[in-house]
Amino acid sequence: MPEHEEPAPLPLRWVEELVNTRNVEDGSDELADPAALAAWFVGRGLLPAGAPVDEAGRARAAQVREGLRALIAANNGGEPPSPAAEGEAGSPEGAGSPDGGAAVADGVEPGALDALARTAPGLALVLELGSGRPRLVPAHPGTVDGALAALLAAVAEAVADGSWARLKACREPGCRWAYYDHSRNRSRAWCSMAVCGNRAKARAFRRRGR
């Protein structure tokens, strides 16, 4: 995965980093237990050191993460390209298996958006008026739900300032890495042209060659 890239501006960067705590490709998860989640939030100033984090909180964080992945995948051209739809000129044996192997599972989990929609009402925000520009802040700071609410506030802020459309999940279903699209016309489809872009190109080439 491209580590050298310029990330999204804060606070949207937290969303990008949260999504990338699960690596779809190798199955690793940086937030696999409550202690790891606590360290992740504390490291970003979203939670004070020593704040209690339980398994239920970790599970909610994972739900929020996967819902956000689904949302930023939608920022990247909606549905991933369908090999079946594009392969009609090819031979029948290529239709279900564009890589010549097993179909790649989509890193965007089915039902992830519904799960986020169920979790979000518990992540309360209030309008803070005391410090200049009014802004949404967690109603329960110092808790996991407060930290997750801060991430949702970052989404709302990014939608308002237009930067949200630049946060994307890689179009490659087996990757779905989050990245911030700095390109002028917001046209970047893959986390890395060298890796995922070339995979998609190779598939298209094999289809044309049949």
- b/e per residue, 150-176, with b = 16+ CB within 10 A? bbbbbbeebeeeebbebbbbbbbbbbb
Q: Considering only the stretches 49-57, 101-109, 183-191, 199-207, report the one whose residues sit in contact with Zn ion under the rule CB under 5 A.
A: 183-191
| 72 interacts with Zn ion by CB under 5 A | no
Nearest approach in angstroms of CB 196 to Zn ion is 3
Show the binding pattern over residues 27-66: x = contacts Zn ion (CB under 5 A), - = does not: ----------------------------------------
Of 182, 177, 61, 209, the residue nearest 197 (C-alpha):
177
Rule CB under 5 A: say whether 16 interacts with Zn ion: no
Q: Among 196, 199, 203, 207, which residue interacts with Zn ion (rule: CB under 5 A)?
A: 196
| Distance in Å, CB of 136 to Zn ion, minimum | 31
Site size for Zn ion, by CB under 5 A?
Answer: 6
What Cα–Cα distance (Å) separates residue 102 from each residue in 95, 108, 161? Answer: 12, 18, 41
Q: What is the dihedral of CA 78, 82, 88, 94, to 10 degrees?
A: 160
The whole-angstrom separation of Cα 29 and Cα 97 is: 28
Q: Which residues bind Zn ion (CB under 5 A)?
A: 170, 172, 175, 177, 191, 196
